[in-house]
Amino acid sequence: MKILVNAPFQVTDQMQEVIDEKVGKLKTYFDRIVEAEVYLKIGEKRHRHREQIVEIRLNVPGTTLFAESRNDAIEKALAGAAEKARRQLVKYKKQLSGNHQRES
């Protein structure tokens, strides 16, 4: 799986490793992910902190899945988006296996 990272700031090596780990782990739930696009954004200032936004777009055969999470810490936003993506992958995989059984 190819992981692309887009951010309006320099992504550190440490942050890249965290992204690769969190997003790469999604492959264990659905091994046919073609590409993952991770968007790191800085949102509005709230309570002394700028809101961190992480969007994950997963290109899988037949569709594109999208997950977004917001938090004061980029790591927490990344973990939240990865968890949402994981749930979508599990649901999508169930739908695929359900459709395959009906066709048989």
pLDDT of amino acid 86: 97
**Residue pLDDT, tens place only, 32-75:** 999 999 999 998 776 677 899 999 999 999 899 999 999 989 99
- Provide the mean pLDDT of the chain: 90
Predicted pLDDT of residue 97: 82
Domains by residue range for the chain, with CATH? 2-103 (3.30.160.100)
Q: What is the pLDDT of residue 44?
A: 76
Record the pTM.
Answer: 0.88
Written as one string, the DSSP assignment of the chain is: -EEEEE-SSPPPHHHHHHHHHHHHGGGGT-TT--EEEEEEEEEEEETTEEEEEEEEEEEETTEEEEEEEEESSHHHHHHHHHHHHHHHHHHHHHHHHHHHHHH-
Q: In this model, does residue 102 exceed pLDDT 70?
A: no
For the stretch 10-41, pLDDT in tens is 999 999 999 999 999 999 999 999 999 999 99
